[in-house]
Each structure stands twice: as structure tokens, then as C-alpha cells.
Chains A and B, each alone.
Chain A
Amino acid sequence: MKTFSKARIFGLIWFGATALVLTIGFYKAMTAPTEATMGNLYRVFFYHLPHTILSFVFPYLNCGASLLYLFWRNRNPTRALAADAFALASAELTVLYASIGLATGMLWGRAAWGIWWTWDARLTTYLLLWLLYVSYLLLRRFAAPGQTAVLAAVLAIFAAIDIPICFMSIRWWRTQHPAPVFGGGADSGIDPGMVSAVLWNMLAWAMWGALILGLRYAVERHRQTSEAAVGLDFVRDQAFSPALEAR
């Protein structure tokens, strides 16, 4: 009980810090110099960039947690369940951040290029990343109870291997054909006045992601314990105590 309240205090402090950094990020993003060609619309870029970059980080947290799950599955069931909860949380965040990345990217595309979507290398890879993790969440929903974690962990490993292959193959695909219409995002270099806005927003959304990840993890852990408690009310303490004997 004591550790729980400690976690709660830590969470509140973290939330406060995140809110502060988000505010600074917002202020910086709105006061950065206006871009020459796009005007104020380009400011969506400060939200697009952190979300896209971070949505390539969460899949690897997901893969790491899934590997740990498979490793602990028959050795330490309690820890394995925790790893599974973390894998679920990070997959949901991948989908969340990738969805925001896609949406802001489309806004940007509409403003900069006049079209919502183009099948250029980055966009296609990114869409595939989104699809992979949506299918992961679908599998979790459809899997038979009791087997969800194993099946999901296996799919997570496949997905993590698939991402780099996807990334490379689509680059080849689009570089072999006539060059895509647009070079894309930050390559062309940005105004020094924008750098601090980018960095603050990067930090802010990373902290926000960690916060949501932690919350989602806690909720999933709670669900796991209460579900088992409903089934096994009278062996509750034994069922999920760390002293549980590994089979």
C-alpha cells in the first residue's frame, strides 16, 4: 500500500512537470518565427515531429517487454504479467502517437503540398507501422483468454523485425522510381529560431508519453489482479505474490 501511494505522489509530480513543459513547448511553438512560404500553418510541425519520432521508439519498448514476457513466462509468472501489461501499454501508445503523427502529417501535407496524402517513402512506411500495431491490438482483442499474452508477444517480435525491413524496402522502392515530389520534413534545415521550440516540444511529448504509458500500465496491472481475484478470491494472496512457485 505504501509503495502505491509513493507511486501516486511521483505520478502527480511527473504530471505537474509535464504540464509545465507542455506549456513552455506550446508557447515556444506559437512564438517561433513565422515560416516564409506556409505562414502560421507550419506550426503543426512542432507537434508532428515529436509524435512521429516517438512512435518509432514505443515499438521497441513493446518488443523488449514482449521478449521479457516470453523469457519470464515459465520462470516468474508475476513478472511476466507485468511485462505483458507494459507491452500492451507501449503498443497502444504506438498507435496513439502514430495516429496523431499521421493526422498532423496530413494537415501539413494539405497546407504545404496541396494534397492530403501522397505515397512517398516516409508516409508509406509510417502507414505500415500504424497498420502493424493496429493488427497487434486486434489480435489481443480476439485471442482466447489466457493465451492473449503469448500470442501478442510473438506477434510483437514479428512486427519489430518487420519495421526495419519495411523501412529499407520502401526507401528502395521510391528511390528507384522517379524521385518523389517532396523531399519532406526537416531535411532542408530549419531556422535557428525554431530549434528551441522543436526541442521543448520533443521533451514535452516524451514526458507526456511516459506519463500515459505509466498510467496505462497501472490500469492494466490493476485489471490483471482484479480479474484473477474474481476467479480465485480465496487464493488471492497466494496467486499473485512474488513467492509464487515457478513451475
Chain B
Amino acid sequence: MSAAPLPIPAVHLDRVSRVYGNFAALRNLSFSIPTGSSVVVLGENGAGKSTLLRILAGLVSATCGKVSIFGSAPREQPRRLAYMSHETMLYDELTALENLHYFAALQPSLLTPEQALREVGLDPALPRRLGEYSQGMRQRASLARVLLTQPDLLLLDEPFSNVDVASAQHIVHLLQRYVQTAPRTLILTTHQADLARPLAHTVITLKAGQLAP
């Protein structure tokens, strides 16, 4: 007689808006993303894609409305969530391995820094500083940081923006493998729809802070 409890969605937005001064980046946005699905968010520059991901990550708060990640407020579950922007979010003056050791020490990590680097196809023993890497390698190192905690929810903001096509395809391949090994949720923004197509279960298009039909 007891119905199976409804699975908690990975992401749930209820009438979320975000205003900067008198500019609304997001307007009254409501949707749910079930656990285990991969969503690609498309939209032009200024459509609110980045704001959306930053709100989900808890880096920006919503002006009004309710955001829940696995049923609780965004910043309450830092271990289950990881965010990556088109910048590397790593120090240029350190090597990839030093960067990862630093971040691994600041949070409970399931992978060792060496494992994470191998996972993205970088050599942990490489003595070069991150600033001397090529764009594609930098982006992979950035992805390695995200993989350290093996998060259930991956938020990627324009992961292919500075990267050549071969590296982008490499990253897509890595992500595909990552989400397939466990019920993991992926939300990715991009304006290169064709690259991300193989990843997407669902495609959302944002226009002026609202869902485009």
C-alpha cells in the first residue's frame, strides 16, 4: 500500500529570479531535473546561463524563489556538487599536481590527485606549471579538480569555450563515461550545441532569463 517515495530530484527550481540592480538575469524560472539525467543549457550571451549555474552551485543567491539541490539549499551539500567555469579555477604558478593536492586537502576527496589526473589523460609527473599548458590541457586539469570528490551533480559553465575541437571531443567523451558509471547528474551550458549533443538527455534553451519554448 505504501507507494514508493518520490525520488528527490537533483535540481528543483521554484519561481526563481535574480536581479542585478534593475537588470533581471533570471525571471521566474521553474523546472526540475531528475537525478541521473544530463541536461544541456543553450542560449545566447546574456541569456542567464551562467547565472543559472552559479545559483545552482550556491555562488550567487536567488533574489526570490526557491532553489533546492537534492532536496536542500545549494550550499548545504558541497560534497555532492562540483562547479567548473570556462576559466581553469586553478593557479597558473603551480603544476597540475600541486594544484590538485591543494584542493584535495581542502575537501574530502575520493580520488587521489594522481588518479584524477590520469582519469583526464594528463601525466601527473609533468613538471610544468599550469600557465605553460595548452588550453585543452588546462581545461582537462580543471576537470580533474572537479572529479576529485566524485560529485553526484556536475555543473559545467561553457567547458568548451577556449578549447579546440579535438580537446572538446575528448572532454565530451570523459563526461559521457563519468555519468554512465553511476546515476550522476550533469548540467552543462554551451553555445556550441553540436558538440554537446551526444551528452544531452534534455536540452533547455534560455532566452532573456526565461525558458524558451
Contacts and interface: CB of A to CB of B under 8 A. Distances in A.
Whether A and B touch directly in their complex, counting CB atoms under 8 A apart, is answered as yes
Interface residues of B, number: 18
Given A235-B27, A235-B28, A238-B15, A244 B64 contact: yes
A232 B63 CA distance: 10
A145 B20 contact: yes
B55 to A, nearest CB: 11
Interface of B: 15, 17, 19-24, 27-28, 61-67, 73
21 contacts: A77-B64, A145-B21, A146-B20, A146-B21, A227-B19, A228-B63, A231-B23, A231-B24, A232-B17, A232-B28, A235-B15, A235-B28, A239-B17, A244-B64, A245-B64, A245-B65, A245-B66, A247-B62, A247-B66, A247-B67, A247-B73
Interface string A98-137: 0000000000000000000000000000000000000000
Contact of B19 (A228, A234, A238): A228
Contacts of A231: 17, 19-24
Interface residues of A, number: 15
A245 B22 CA distance: 21
- Name the prevailing secondary structure of the B interface residues: strand
Contacts of B19: 146, 227-228, 231-232
Nearest to A226: B22
Contacts of A77: 64
A230 interface: yes
A235 to B, nearest CB: 5
Most buried by A among B19, B27, B61: B19
A29 to B, nearest CB: 45
A125 B159 CA distance: 54
A228 B66 CA distance: 18
Nearest to B24: A231
Contacts of A234: 27-28
Contact of A230 (B22, B62, B66): B22
A239 B23 CA distance: 14
- 3 tightest A-B CB contacts, nearest first: A145-B21, A231-B19, A230-B22
Given A232-B27, A238-B15, A247-B61, 4 more contacts: A146-B21, A228-B22, A234-B27, A235-B17
A238 B21 contact: no
A227 to B, nearest CB: 5
A87 B61 CA distance: 22
Interface in A205-239: 227-228, 230-232, 234-235, 238-239
Nearest to B65: A245
A48 to B, nearest CB: 40
Contacts of A235: 15, 17, 27-28, 64
Contacts of B61: 247
Given A234-B27, A234-B28, A239 B63 contact: yes
Interface in A15-50: none
